[in-house]
Amino acid sequence: MKLFLPQTQLEEWALEDKADVKDGVLVVTGEPGVYPVVPAVHIVQLVTGEDTNRLVSKVKTEEQLESLGAEQMADSVLLGETAYEVVPGYVAEVPSPSDASSEDGKAGSETDLLAAFLLNKMG
């Protein structure tokens, strides 16, 4: 399952020594696993132009933005004559509980706890 993690949230976690992004992975303090992350943005709203690509409320990776011909500048994305306000962050790849379950169910419950931890911290 993919989770969007805002940069501001990750900075807060790093300051509290709860989690950090290092070398393209999310490391959660006290958790044995690491989770791959890729830079991304959450497109919050249209600033100017028309949303012909229907990007508002979507999360796009840097690679996806490049393929559209869009350019990110801080908390904005420009696509032709259209400008969007965005929240920079990362998309974390967290295994879904059904993928991670082992015979004793432990891995699945750890994944559930991580997903709940991440989602609760974002809320």
CA distances from 39 to 23, 30, 45 (A): 12, 24, 19
The answer to whether 97 and 5 are in contact (CB under 8 A) is no
Residues 6+ apart with CB under 8 A from 99: none
pLDDT higher than threshold 70 for residue 113: no
Give the Cβ contact number of residue 32 at 10 Å: 6
> Which residues does residue 71 pair with via DSSP β-bridges, in sequence order?
78
Say what the pLDDT of residue 104 is: 45
Spell 92-115 as b/e; 16+ CB within 10 A means b: bebbebeebbeeeeebbebbeebb
**Average pLDDT for residues 93-113, to the nearest whole number?**
55
φ, ψ for residue 9, nearest 5 deg = -65, -40
Res. 105 pLDDT band, cuts 50 70 90: very low
Say what the pLDDT of residue 103 is: 44
Tokens of 108: 């699945």
Q: What is the mean pLDDT of the chain?
A: 84
Q: What is the tally of structural domains in the chain?
A: 1
Range(s) of the domain holding residue 91: 2-122
Give the Cβ contact number of residue 13 at 10 Å: 20
